[in-house]
Amino acid sequence: MTDTPIKQVTVLGSTGSIGLSTLDVLAQHPQRFAVYALTANRSVDALYQQCMTYQPVYAVMACVDSADQLQQRLAAAGSATQVLGGPSGLEQVASADAVDAVMAAIVGATGLAPTLAAARAGKTVLLANKEALVMAGHLFMAAVAESGATLLPIDSEHNAIFQCLPPAAVGGGVGTTGVSKILLTASGGPFRDWTAAQISAATPEQACAHPNWSMGRKISVDSATLMNKGLELVEACWLFDVSSDFVEVVVHPQSIIHSMVQYVDGSVLAQLGNPDMRTPIAHALGWPERIASGVRELDMIEIGRLDFEPPDVSRFPCLELARDAVRQGGTAMAVLNAANEEAVAAFLDGRVGFMDIPRVIASVLSRADAPEPSSLDVVTQTDEQARELARQTIAGR
């Protein structure tokens, strides 16, 4: 161990799937990292336990009533952790001077404001919250360039691509470095082998039972519809400054290869590993060094074979909807994201069927305004209008 100064880390969304994996990796390296702030929406019990274990300087709850409850419980336990409530608290701990790195692991559009605050403050931003980039990629990448923030992808595919790109290509300029294509891998989700009729009758529990990854419910449904791959396509375009034609989606059911980069000389570089998010999290936390993650070693003999197939856009129309939205440009991606979040929430609540998700998104995309994303206000307004249209569409089904 070198005498590197301890990095102060804020974990936005610390009670979620990515948040828990992040805390697991941080706890393996107490000489490298200290937890500056932990945040959650309204899970008071979970955040209380985390505060007692990690003793952060701050704990933030997006829900103000939950923040009051947490404050009382921590005070009664004699904890020195200070509690903040509401969106301003999230932005404060994402951009505070004392913070070096921010894990952006809030799910959905709510993650945009604090993640953008971290980027504007020039932090090392470990980006799991793909929805933030999908909604406001233009503003987000401009903020990173302006502040000199370091943006490191946590999404396993984008982390893999980052690892396979030549160093000169990172931060844009992929086209001049001999890279000819990005091969974005997809597991195909739990319904890869299902017929269209079976998929139509799918329940939330079936959609959330991913064959390879254990994740939050929203991203699990996105993986089942393949919208997750659509969002990741957009994420790749922003992160690596390429057009959507440069990115080919390849279904790889074993989720051992996490994505690939093809070069003009015919070489293809791939990053492999067991499907465990602690690998990309440790890669980004340690970068440019390598640190242990606690992930089981990959055993190629045990795996035996790796398969590949094209995505089936007729059973999984969401991927094409994302490509359409990218081509449309402007804030069409924010519209797509908002309609998807509303449709997925309705599906998880049992208000619509699984195949209503793409139907609602297509309907909203064809009707919503998608102006140029000139400011965060424009993006937020577009998001709200698209949500309203989606809610009306859902209520009418």
Q: Write out the residues near ligand NAD by the rule CB under 6 A.
A: 13-19, 40-41, 43, 62, 105-107, 110, 128-131, 155, 213, 215-216, 219, 277
Closest to ligand NAD by CB, 215 or 363: 215
- The least CB distance from residue 196 to ligand NAD, in Å, is 26
The window from 43-51, 69-77, 148-156, 332-340 that contacts Mg ion (CB under 5 A) reads 148-156
Question: Between 65 and 369, whose beta carbon lies closer to ligand NAD?
Answer: 65
Question: If binding is defined by CB under 5 A, does position 155 make contact with Mg ion?
Answer: yes
To the nearest 10°, report the CA torsion of 242, 245, 246, 248. 130
> Which of Mg ion, ligand NAD, none sits in contact with 128, Cβ below 5 to 8 A by type?
ligand NAD
**Residue window 157-196: x/- pattern of binding to Mg ion, with contact defined by CB under 5 A:** x---------------------------------------
Q: Nearer to ligand NAD by C-beta: 48 or 363?
A: 48
Taking the complex as a whole, the smallest distance from the CB of residue 102 to ligand NAD amounts, in Å, to 13
Asked if the peptide bond before residue 288 counts as cis, ω within 30 degrees of 0, the response is yes
Q: How far is the CB of 238 from Mg ion (least distance, A)?
A: 15
- Compute the least distance from the CB of residue 276 to ligand NAD, in Å: 9
Query: Looking at beta carbons only, is 71 or 110 nearer to ligand NAD?
Result: 110
In angstroms, what is the minimal distance from the CB of 43 to ligand NAD? Answer: 6
Q: Is residue 383 close enough to count as binding Mg ion by CB under 5 A?
A: no
Compare residues 21 and 382 and give the one whose CB is closer to ligand NAD.
21
Residue 35 or residue 363: which is nearer to ligand NAD going by CB?
35
Closest distance to Mg ion from the beta carbon of 94 (Å):
22
Task: With beta carbons less than 8 A apart as the criterion, state whether 157 and 259 touch.
Answer: yes
Give the tokens for residue 227.
């919208």
